[in-house]
Amino acid sequence: MYQRVGAAAMKKDLTNILALCEALGNPHQQFKSIHIAGTNGKGSTAHILSAILQSAGHKTGLYTSPHYRDFRERIKINGQYIPQQAVVDFVAQYKALFDDIQPSFFEITVAMAFDYFAKQKVDIAVIETGLGGRLDSTNVLSPILSVITNISYDHQQFLGDTLPEIATEKAGIIKPNTPVVISERQAEVAHVFEDIAAERNAPIYFASDYFNIKEKNISLKGNYYEIFYKKNTDNERFMIQTDLYGNYQSENLCGVLFVEKILAEEGLIMNEDTKFKALKQVKTLSNFIGRWQIISEKPLTVCDSGHNAAGIHQLVEQLAALPYSQLHIVIGMVRDKDHEKVIALMPKDAIYYIAKPNIPRGMDAELLCEKFISAGLDAQAYTSVATALDTAQKRAGEDDVVFVGGSIFVVGEVV
């Protein structure tokens, strides 16, 4: 299981998932889908699109990964987790098949999601890739459209050492004659997407070419954005409100709004107000957790699962916008991340509470703490995430902020 042990769990081709799907009657061919890849933002994008489609009256499947606490977070219909019994029954029914094919945890989970969505007769499913795209188990889909959020450095041991190499792997989800929406135009990789889309005769749209999004009012309970149509001579604009916090949501919203435009043209969204209603209640509709989630009011304690350098950079900017007397950061990481690059981005004036996430991949707290101290940061190691958080909250004054993050697995222990 990659979530727990890392590279040893990876299967680097589609052989197993194709064999599983064939044995299951190719369930992935029995529903419409939207396929999403990218380094950061694909989870938020998936949940927002799921909420919009659900609000439009569609029975909507949602597959995401990894999970925080409950395996069933990965497989949802209209925000409701797959029932425990459905998971048990699927594993029991196909155990001999698993013994024969020897699939990975992720491959079994993807097959389970496809099977469940087909049996439940969803109208459409929003499917997030796990790692990369080209060789990701979800890439057996023939979606009605593909979405790629953004490209930054993460999982270089699998995807490549340069942004164009990483983009090439993500662009593997682009299908022949199928539209692809790129959420933001990034100069270093735009040509990669354009070239692959041209090879496959896939209409390509860079959403940030069409929309300019400005934050107007931000609070931890949600954001207001003003949206401008860049290519409209009438300088048309409108306001949206969302229950999602984080300035990084503006890039995600570019992609979402363009996808919504395509879905409306396809007749899947009939009412313009659908997106406005859905955006106000994304968390409720899609059961979205772990991103700028408030876990305590006194002291104000928030968590977010951003973990690579680009994600941490955005988090640090967001934390700087919060009013506080002292910032306390409970943090842990996995071993196979670029610790120094992340640590270099962290606020210099925060107090750090270092803990090992409770998985085999977790970085030893003492070793990680040494790296923080070497970087000149005020850090101390703790025996568990729970102990670190309890200590931080007890030390925090009423005007302080406690932040929990560094890894989805750390956040999974507190949400």
The token pair that represents 325 in the structure block: 């007397």
Higher pLDDT, 79 or 315: 79
Burial of residue 108 (number of CB atoms within 10 Å: 0-12, 13-18, 19+): buried
- Contact between 291 and 355 (Cβ < 8 Å): no
Q: How many angstroms separate the Cα of 147 from the Cα of each of 34, 131, 404?
A: 8, 15, 29
With a cut of 70, say whether residue 11 has pLDDT above it: no
What is the pLDDT, as a whole number, of residue 8? Answer: 58
Average pLDDT over residues 258-285: 93
Instruction: Read off the pLDDT of residues 163-174 as tens digits, 9 standing for 90 and up.
Output: 999 999 999 999
Cβ-contact 408, 66 below 8 angstroms: yes
- Mean predicted lDDT score pLDDT of the chain: 91
Beta strand spans in 159-210 (E): 180-182, 204-206
Q: Which residue has the higher pLDDT, 310 or 120?
A: 120
Q: What angle do CA 30, 57, 21 make, to 5 degrees?
A: 15
Kindly give, in sequence order, each residue whose CB lies less than 8 Å from that of residue 134, ignoring residues fewer than 6 positions away: 168, 169, 170, 171, 172, 173
Task: Select from 118, 114, 112 the least CA-distant residue to 127.
Answer: 114
17 contacts 28 by C-beta, under 8 angstroms: no
pLDDT value at residue 245 = 81
Cα(352)–Cα(330) distance, rounded to whole angstroms? 6
Largest CA-CA distance found in the chain, in angstroms, rounded? 62
Could you tell me what percent of the chain has a pLDDT over 70? 94
pTM of structure: 0.92
> pLDDT category, 154, cuts 50, 70, 90?
low
Handedness of CA 53, 66, 171, 44 (dihedral sign): positive
Tens digits of per-residue pLDDT, 220-229? 777 889 998 8
pLDDT at 311: 82
Give the pLDDT confidence of 59-99 residue by residue, as tens digits.
999 999 999 999 999 999 999 999 999 999 999 999 999 99
Tens digits of residue pLDDT in 360-394: 889 999 999 999 999 999 999 999 999 999 999 99
pLDDT by residue (tens digit) across 172-195?
999 999 999 999 999 999 999 999
Output the pLDDT for position 7.
Answer: 55
Question: What does the pLDDT read at residue 230?
Answer: 85
So what's the pLDDT on residue 235? 63
Q: Give the count of beta carbons closer than 10 Å to the beta carbon of residue 388.
A: 28
* Among the listed residues 120, 157, 113, 159, the one whose alpha carbon sits nearest the alpha carbon of residue 137: 113
All structural domains of the chain, each given as residue ranges with its CATH number in brackets, are 2-286 (3.40.1190.10), 293-412 (3.90.190.20)
pLDDT of residue 370: 97
